[in-house]
Amino acid sequence: MPTTDFPFQIEREINPPTFAEIDDRIGGVYVIYNVLSQCSYVGKALSIRKRVRNDHYRALATGHSNQAAMQRLIWDRNRLGKGLEPFRFAVLQVIPTSQYDDFIPAETLFIKAIKPAYNYYMDNRYPFTEYDSAMALLDNKEP
């Protein structure tokens, strides 16, 4: 059920801090979306709820992560001064855990379709234009 906060199709939104809308046994592809910067991060997990709640949400809440993409999300959280308020979490595609071989192709498909700036920042293989443009808009500057 898509919400107006997401500029792309989602399967269902999941809400912090418990993410109770999804069972621990549900795997697949998920997205973290910053409604202010319009930047996103796409990931995959055998348990979306555990990955998002225990790793990503906790990193955003505490401000500590070793993952480059999460460090960029944390930096945005601090820079924008809005805490966790601008971040939305959603399931893009549920994939049975027995079909783990399908996780990477599905994640890749969503990364190509959505062009998530946080993923691009992390990979260092892609231009930062989506991320830089979003940050320039927030700073009221031309990209």
Per-residue pLDDT, averaged over 125-132, amounts to: 50
CA-based nearest residue to 80, from 15, 35, 128: 35
> Could you tell me the CA-to-CA distances from 84 to 17, 63, 111 in Å, in that order?
10, 11, 23
pLDDT single digits (tens) 26-55:
999 999 998 888 889 999 999 999 999 999
Amino acid present at 95:
I
Please say if the pLDDT value at position 3 is more than 90.
Answer: no
> Could you tell me the CA-to-CA distances from 45 to 66, 100, 102, 123, 131 in Å, in that order?
18, 9, 11, 18, 24
What per-residue confidence (pLDDT) applies to 29?
97
What per-residue confidence (pLDDT) applies to 66?
78
Distance CA 31, CA 7 (A): 12
Q: Give the length of the chain.
A: 143
**pLDDT tier for residue 70 given thresholds of 50, 70 and 90:** confident
What per-residue confidence (pLDDT) applies to 122?
56
Looking at 3.40.50.150, 3.40.50.720, 3.20.20.140, 3.40.1440.10, the CATH number of the domain 12-99+110-138 comes to: 3.40.1440.10
Looking at every residue in the chain, the average pLDDT score rounds to 82
